[in-house]
Amino acid sequence: MWLSDEERTLIKGLIDRGEPLPDDYRFRLFKEPREAELIWPGKTRDVTNAVLPFQVIEQIDEPRSEADGYAFDLFEMNGATGRQQGGWTNKLIWGDNKLALSSLKNGPLRREIEKAGGLKLVYIDPPFDVGADFSHEVEIGDDTLTKESSVIEDIAYRDTWGRGADSFITMFHERLQILHSLLAEDGSIYVHCDWRVTSYVRLILDDIFGKKNFSNEIIWHYQSGGRSEKNYSKKHDSIYLYGKSNKRFFNSDAIGEERGTKKRNNMKRGEDADGRKFWSIQSAGKTYKYYDDEKITPADVWTDVSHLQQKDPERVGYATQKPEKLIERIIEGSSGTGDLVADFFCGSGTTLAVAEKLGRKWIGCDLGRFAIHTSRKRLIGVQRELKKEHKPYRSFEILNLGKYERQYFIGIDPTLPEDQRRAIALQKDEHYVTLILQAYRAERVFQSPPFHGRKGPALILVGAVDAPVTSEQCKTAIEAARKLGVTQVQILGFEFEMGLTPRITDEARVKGVNLALRYIPKEVFDKRAVEKHQVSFHDVAYVEVKPEVKGLEAKVRLSRFGVAYVQDDIDRLSAELKNGATKVTVSNGQVVKVVKDKSGVITSEVLTKEWTDWIDYWAVDFDYDSRREIVTVTTPDADGRLVDRPQWTGGYIFENEWQSFRTKRDRSLDLVTASHTYPAKGKYKIAVKVIDIFGNDTTKVVEVAV
């Protein structure tokens, strides 16, 4: 390295003033790389190393409870209950895939993955630069409501594309680094993209997996798509295939097609002594034979897989949904029966559904609540199909990072000992309460315990970051409000004790207090969403059920469900509508169709004629407290070494034993379960979970004696 005295003085001055050096000096001051280097603002090899415990929020072993006596020895199914007793359980994870990947890589689930043979195949279809539209179509009778994207989805999109290509590359690069470490040594990754990001994606994959491990750029060409009068029509996507190493598994026989008997130019027909037929050709003095029954591996241009049409029966309401035939070829080509495949941008669950049909183990992850719900229904549908055909299937569980993710967001490390976590939580409590009140646009108060704030005439109580709001907390707030002469109370929480509404709100009303229970959304932890007043708190829905018991048998009847959602202000929406336009929206817990005719006259019609119109799905666990929710928390021991410690969360796993839900092809909904037979007399707790048309869930627990 040679620098003149003048250059040395210049560099020192820039450093002293905290100013950046000209790019030229980066190459002159440091050892030059041996090959071309990929750089961009903010590039780092550092990755998130959070180890957050996964919480199991639902277990789905067998679709419906109408047992037909058929059990699967392959997966150690229990003939009496239909529940899987051992082996790998498939995993559908709701949450930020960066934190999920980090926790999979560094936490106890890593050992489960390795025991299952490691990740043999990862397919991902990350968000392209297509605009922040994560809306979905929701059918209400003969009309369609556009369910707007959640703020958390919009935030994720801004994180991905907020600084253009730089932020996309940073997001993608970090996740690929973690994925690389999770892949089995003979594993493969397929990355699906289009013309907007192909150049970036290829370079990032080269940077992490190495050019030597590049295998193919697959061109998926389709006939449908946009037309252009100014350019060639864009009618293909690119799918990049890389291996973890040169040991990459590839099963050409599984995806190959027989050559067949079609006549070949300049070839002669022949037959071996054993009767195998072939075409032959001579070249450079050698004879080459091409047998009819030989398998031909598909080329890297795929023209035989059609894009999904709008009315395709596969469609589940996702604009970016890919055809199963496309994913089927990928899974069959790069994994075998029983191998583990994953999709960490799983969307509507196509990869997971195909993996289940092909007998693979799987992991899926998505940030969107509605994506997880759509995938859940789709996967239960696959289970039902396989069960009907007497084919094996695996149970799956729905996981999230729950309260541990929220602790992480406010700066509490879940790997610390419990006493240290409590001490930090106390220190962070004021910051947390202030954050929630700011997002709720309420003022902080200190003289009216147990309340934390005030909004208009209402006093506000903020629930804990890592625990549900309880009935006792609500009763304490009601009594405190009466003593203070306040008639309106609003309690905000991330979770609420099951079955609080409408019981506790009715109790408050009798005592002269108008009590509202409202969910705190995840987006409160995003400063930008709070500052732009984008955070929306919605009321806790309520569900009423009636158990019907006869001897040892019990049924459950769904008798009532209520919500109080708002998506648009009707007056503002009406003013903004153009003449001749129609909009379906949500106002005061009703789906409303607003029409402005050509002369400007506005009419509205309530589409949710019955309370059942709000329900998309409901499920029942007939013995709710039979299985405790145990999480594995990684904490240091006396010597500072990280140790996995199983802990009971205080909750129970919802074991989905019966379910009814709507699909695009079947809008019917059963309101009474099939009979469930208990093994003995006694008292049992039944949990009922209802998921509305927006993907939000409400659970109620009732006790029965049989």
- 600 and 615 in a single domain? The answer is yes
Question: What is the distance between the alpha carbons of residues 579 and 585, in angstroms, rounded to a whole number?
Answer: 17
Can you give the pLDDT at residue 657? 93
State the DSSP string of 350-415: HHHHHHHHTT-EEEEEES-HHHHHHHHHHHHHHHHHHHHTT-----EEEEE-HHHHHHHHTT--TT
286-291 sheet: strands from edge to edge? 268-271, 277-283, 286-291
User: From the centroid of its chain, how far is CA 260?
Assistant: 43
- 422 and 566 in a single domain? The answer is no
- 230 and 324 in a single domain? The answer is yes
Can you give the pLDDT at residue 355? 98
Name every residue whose Cβ is closer than 8 Å to that of residue 108 and which is 6 or more positions away in sequence.
632, 634, 644
Question: What is the distance between the alpha carbons of residues 465 and 522, in angstroms, rounded to a whole number?
Answer: 11
Amino acid letter for position 270: G
Can you give the pLDDT at residue 154? 45
- The answer to the question of residue 39 being in a domain is no
User: Band of the pLDDT at 80, cuts 50, 70, 90?
Assistant: low
- The answer to the question of residue 437 being in a domain is yes
Mean pLDDT of 300-306: 94
Question: What is the distance between the alpha carbons of residues 264 and 514, in angstroms, rounded to a whole number?
Answer: 83
For residue 245, give its domain range.
92-250+303-400
- 178 and 271 in a single domain? The answer is no
- 324 and 225 in a single domain? The answer is yes
Which has the closest alpha carbon to 24: 5, 45, 7? Answer: 7
- The answer to the question of residue 393 being in a domain is yes
CA distances from residue 661 to 126, 376, 590, 619, 687 in whole angstroms, order as listed: 29, 11, 20, 9, 17
Residue that terminates a domain, selected from 400, 426, 457: 400
- 436 and 554 in a single domain? The answer is no
Q: What is the CATH number of the domain that holds 482?
A: 3.40.1340
- 447 and 392 in a single domain? The answer is no
- The answer to the question of residue 45 being in a domain is no
145 has pLDDT over 70: no
- 584 and 494 in a single domain? The answer is no
Question: What is the distance between the alpha carbons of residues 429 and 436, in angstroms, rounded to a whole number?
Answer: 11
- 350 and 481 in a single domain? The answer is no
- The answer to the question of residue 75 being in a domain is no
Beta bridge partners of 84: 77
Can you give the pLDDT at residue 21? 79
Mean pLDDT of 256-269: 79
Can you give the pLDDT at residue 619? 97
- 326 and 378 in a single domain? The answer is yes
Can you give the pLDDT at residue 254? 93
Average pLDDT over the chain, rounded to an integer = 86
DSSP 611: G
Dump pLDDT digits (tens) for 223-245.
876 677 788 888 899 999 999 99
Mean pLDDT of 412-437: 84
Residue that terminates a domain, selected from 377, 400, 423: 400
- The answer to the question of residue 54 being in a domain is no
- The answer to the question of residue 62 being in a domain is no
DSSP 81: T
Lowest mean pLDDT among 70-84, 335-349, 438-452: 70-84
129 has pLDDT over 80: no
Dihedral sign for Cα 453, 458, 459, 460, please. negative
Mean pLDDT of 447-456: 95
- 551 and 530 in a single domain? The answer is no
Report the share of the chain in percent with pLDDT over 70.
Answer: 89
Can you give the pLDDT at residue 67? 46
Can you give the pLDDT at residue 157? 37
More confident residue, 63 or 295: 295
Report the share of the chain in percent with pLDDT over 90.
Answer: 50
Q: What is the CATH number of the domain that holds 102?
A: 3.40.50.150
- 519 and 548 in a single domain? The answer is no
136 has pLDDT over 60: no
Dump pLDDT digits (tens) for 489-530.
999 999 998 878 888 999 999 999 999 999 998 888 877 778
Question: What is the distance between the alpha carbons of residues 554 and 576, in angstroms, rounded to a whole number?
Answer: 52
DSSP 566: -
Lowest mean pLDDT among 20-34, 55-69, 123-137, 235-249: 123-137
Residue that terminates a domain, selected from 400, 425, 444: 400
Domain count, the chain: 5
Phi-psi region of 599 (alpha: psi -120 to 50; beta: other; left: phi over 0): alpha
Can you give the pLDDT at residue 22? 78
Task: Provide the residue count of the chain.
Answer: 706
92 has pLDDT over 50: yes
- The answer to the question of residue 60 being in a domain is no
Lowest mean pLDDT among 277-281, 363-367, 393-397, 489-493: 277-281
